[in-house]
């Protein structure tokens, strides 16, 4: 089976972990600080804080801008459920805006219709590596918390993602462009937001045996072992990015020949992170549904994934929000999207195997 998105880990990461273990730093220490410093330079932000996961990053960022019980946060339904879950964890209510048909990012026009006196934050998701349309969202003057789990290398109209909004949240999960296995990073230019997150992410003794806390915080720090892996991955961003761009180009060429299978639109005004290659399968034109394509590709030993099923249609959110209006664009996309294997760990021959299998499956349905 050709894996969907295996991490591209080499001897450098193995050596960095061994060095960290020998240093005696198993918890948060100098490697985490180095990662924060290096990533701040990378995204051109004044502050970066390393945390235990991308989910923790979103949660702490919402708390840092004051989201709490009784508030509403507008977000996208085309995302991993964690994006909505953290809103619930603050005591606030997620309000789902529909997405644009072209790139499946949040629709700014629908966001504008949903803003109310209870709206405390807007949380766009940069889907697959394509940046959401940020300027209309920022224009409302409401704190924007970006879910940039897919967008570590993205830029919006020439501005790097990481310093545009109140806080930007990145993931270091095993499948991400910068992968540590687990972990997250929060970037911000707001010193107050950075201080709030610093107080929330870890209870530390500080100096000596006497200690104090200013808020009842969490245990959401990143260990030096994981930070060491992430620092190595940061060194490889350019090389890995070139491999993913080559894989995108190969897929673009292949699917252009396949009626009913189309990739998401990439806006040439922005820098795409090339995190996921997502196609939409039009059952009528392609001859079969997305699920049927996924099944036959699995029989061809090609692993795929779905990014994403609409969050508001999942059981927990159907029960939490029984009066949720229909979101037709997101719901149709949830039936059509399929993500193809993409990783710097894959060779050009691996990607050729995927495109050949996709052509065979497409032919079988014609």
Task: Give the separation between CA 139 and CA 122, rounded to whole angstroms.
Answer: 11
Question: Interior CA angle at 95 toward 59 and 199, to 5°?
Answer: 15
Residues 6+ apart with CB under 8 A from 277: 128, 247, 248, 251, 263, 339, 340, 342
> How far is CA 126 from each of CA 123, 159, 240, 271, 309, rounded to the nearest angstrom?
10, 14, 19, 12, 16
Please list the residues that pair with 72 across neighbouring strands: 93, 119
Count how many Cα atoms sit within 13 Å of the Cα of residue 269 in the half-sphere of its side chain. 6
Q: What are the strands of the beta sheet with 145-147, ordered from one edge?
A: 47-51, 184-188, 167-171, 145-147
DSSP 181: B
Question: Cβ(52)–Cβ(182) under 8 Å?
Answer: yes
Distance CA 328, CA 307 (A): 17
Q: Is 120 a catalytic residue?
A: no
Q: E strand or H helix at 135, and its extent? A: helix 134-138
Catalytic one among 120, 176, 236, 313? 176
DSSP 8-state symbol, 361 = H
How many other C-beta atoms are found inside a 10 Å radius of the C-beta of residue 68? 11
Q: What is the DSSP letter of 343?
A: -
CA–CA separation, 115 and 142 (whole Å): 9
- Any idea which residues carry the catalytic annotation? 176
């Amino acid at each position: 089976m050709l894996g969907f998105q295996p991490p591209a880990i080499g001897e450098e990461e193995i050596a960095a972990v061994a060095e960290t273990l020998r240093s005696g730093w198993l918890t948060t220490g100098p490697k985490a600080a180095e990662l924060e410093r290096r990533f701040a330079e990378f995204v051109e932000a004044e502050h970066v804080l390393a945390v235990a996961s991308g989910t923790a990053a979103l949660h702490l960022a919402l708390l840092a801008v004051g989201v709490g019980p009784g508030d509403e946060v507008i977000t996208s339904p085309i995302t991993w459920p964690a994006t909505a879950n953290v809103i619930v964890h603050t005591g606030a209510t997620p309000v789902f805006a529909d997405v644009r048909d072209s790139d499946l990012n949040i629709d700014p026009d629908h966001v504008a219709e949903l803003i109310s006196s209870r709206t405390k934050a807007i949380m766009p998701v940069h889907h697959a590596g394509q940046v959401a349309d940020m300027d209309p969202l920022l224009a409302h003057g409401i704190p924007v918390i970006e879910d940039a789990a897919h967008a570590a290398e993205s830029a919006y109209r020439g501005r790097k993602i990481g310093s545009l909004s109140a806080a930007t949240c990145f993931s270091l999960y095993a499948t991400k462009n910068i992968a540590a296995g687990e972990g997250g990073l929060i970037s911000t230019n707001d010193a107050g937001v950075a201080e709030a997150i610093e107080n929330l992410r870890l209870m530390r003794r500080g100096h000596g045996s006497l200690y104090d806390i200013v808020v009842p915080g969490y245990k959401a720090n990143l260990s030096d072992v994981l930070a060491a892996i992430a620092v190595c991955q940061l060194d490889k961003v350019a090389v890995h990015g070139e491999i993913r761009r080559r894989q995108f180009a190969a897929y673009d060429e292949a699917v252009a020949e396949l009626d009913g299978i189309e990739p998401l639109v990439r806006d040439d005004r922005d820098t795409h992170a090339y995190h996921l290659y997502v196609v939409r399968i039009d059952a009528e034109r392609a001859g079969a549904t997305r699920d049927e394509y996924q099944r036959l590709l699995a029989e061809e030993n090609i692993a795929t994934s779905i990014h994403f099923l609409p969050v508001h249609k999942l059981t927990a959110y159907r029960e939490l929000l029984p009066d949720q209006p229909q979101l037709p664009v997101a719901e149709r996309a949830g039936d059509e999207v399929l993500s193809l294997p993409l990783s710097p760990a894959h060779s050009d021959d691996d990607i050729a195997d995927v495109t050949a299998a996709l052509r065979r499956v497409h032919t079988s349905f014609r």
